[in-house]
């Protein structure tokens, strides 16, 4: 029987962050960090699985997302180290809940603070597992390597995504992004198109994503809106820390779906299959999920849960 997920607001570094929790934590704590357009709910299947196995699952809404407070000015793109805020928020959550060490699980842009936290705070990290996004020692830069219509290049332009999204209600925007990002092709708009034009209401949702799931996502983004989520991460990728001498001291597990469109982005396959990550993470494990999309934790929860629980079990105490 599934345990009841509890919700609370934690005062962390001047903001009230929404945190979902479940499990007693006899075997340890797992912190889940979501991407875009995700939210704590994206980890619902994994939270129940680790709780049933004896762990405590914690999934915050990232600052500015869902039920968490909006950060004050200045805007994230004007901050020198916006990614460090996400790392500091994780540390603040662990301290507020008196948790000495935790496993970190990150997805999409949530992988960046998961990797960075493990590098900065190895004494507070049991291990790190990331879905879809390999570790990069330099900021991501798609200029010149991807078409102009590639959505991160479009969305980094102030006001462009806001105008594109603003033509539709919140539910339609979330629906369209889930449809696009669950495909195997990289979402690229043509000249005269915007990203939201790449799918419409006649395009079916992925079979594993229900109308009820969409309702949950829409209700949470009704609270936060898309203003901050668009700016962070898409207008802050150039402010990622350069870490050419990075060396992970904890186990790292990279999991990617073979139908994840990000696998086609420049450098991603080389990082995963070519061994680049191994030079930074000596204790690296890599797994591929056949047919897995960018949302494999929702698409194939049993498989991802199996990989996650195996990783938790194999990590040294």
Catalytic residues: 108, 234, 294
Name the phi and psi angles at 127, rounded to 5. Answer: 175, 165
Q: Are strands 29-33 and 125-131 parallel, antiparallel or unpaired?
A: unpaired
Q: Spell out the residues 6+ positions from residue 267 whose beta carbon is closer than 8 angstroms to its own.
A: 136, 276
Sign of CA dihedral 299, 304, 305, 308: negative
Torsion region of 54: left, alpha or beta (phi above 0 gives left; psi -120 to 50 gives alpha): left
83 contacts 112 by C-beta, under 8 angstroms: yes
Q: Please calculate the CA angle 166-169-173 and round it to the nearest 5 degrees.
A: 80
Strand order in the sheet with 284-289: 6-12, 15-22, 56-60, 29-33, 102-107, 125-131, 252-257, 284-289
Closest C-alpha among 236, 231, 263, 209 to residue 42: 209
By the 10 Å C-beta count (0-12 exposed, 13-18 middle, 19+ buried), 214 is classed as middle
Task: Take residue 147 and report the two structure tokens written for it.
Answer: 């078409």
- Listed in sequence order, the residues at least 6 apart from 212 whose beta carbon sits closer than 8 Å to its beta carbon are none
């Amino acid at each position: 029987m599934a345990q009841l997920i509890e919700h609370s607001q934690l005062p962390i570094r001047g903001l009230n962050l929404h945190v979902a929790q479940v499990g007693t934590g006899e075997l340890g704590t797992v912190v889940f960090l979501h991407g875009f357009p995700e939210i704590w709910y994206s980890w619902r299947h994994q939270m129940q699985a680790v709780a049933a196995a004896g762990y405590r699952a914690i999934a915050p809404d990232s600052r500015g997302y869902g039920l968490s407070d909006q950060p004050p000015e200045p805007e994230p793109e004007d901050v020198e180290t916006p990614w460090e805020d996400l790392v500091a928020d994780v540390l603040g959550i662990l301290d507020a809940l008196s948790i000495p060490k935790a496993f970190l699980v990150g997805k999409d842009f949530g992988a960046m603070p998961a990797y960075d936290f493990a590098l900065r705070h190895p004494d507070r990290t049991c291990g790190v597992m990331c879905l879809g996004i390999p570790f990069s020692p330099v900021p991501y830069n798609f200029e010149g390597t991807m078409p102009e219509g590639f959505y991160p290049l479009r969305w980094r332009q102030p006001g462009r995504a806001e105008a594109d999204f603003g033509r539709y209600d919140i539910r339609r925007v979330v629906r369209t992004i889930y449809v696009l990002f669950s495909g195997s092709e990289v979402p690229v708009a043509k000249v005269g198109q915007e990203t939201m034009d790449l799918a419409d209401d006649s395009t079916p949702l992925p079979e594993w994503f229900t109308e009820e799931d969409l309702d949950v996502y829409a209700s949470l983004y009704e609270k936060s809106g898309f203003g901050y989520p668009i700016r962070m991460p898409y207008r802050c990728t150039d402010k990622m820390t350069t870490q050419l001498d990075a060396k992970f001291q904890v186990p790292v597990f990279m999991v990617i779906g073979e139908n994840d469109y990000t696998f086609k982005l420049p450098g991603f396959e080389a990082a995963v299959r070519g061994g680049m990550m191994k030079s930074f993470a000596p204790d690296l494990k890599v797994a591929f999920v056949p047919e897995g999309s960018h949302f494999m934790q929702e698409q194939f929860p049993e498989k991802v849960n199996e990989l996650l629980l195996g990783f938790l079990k194999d990590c040294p105490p």
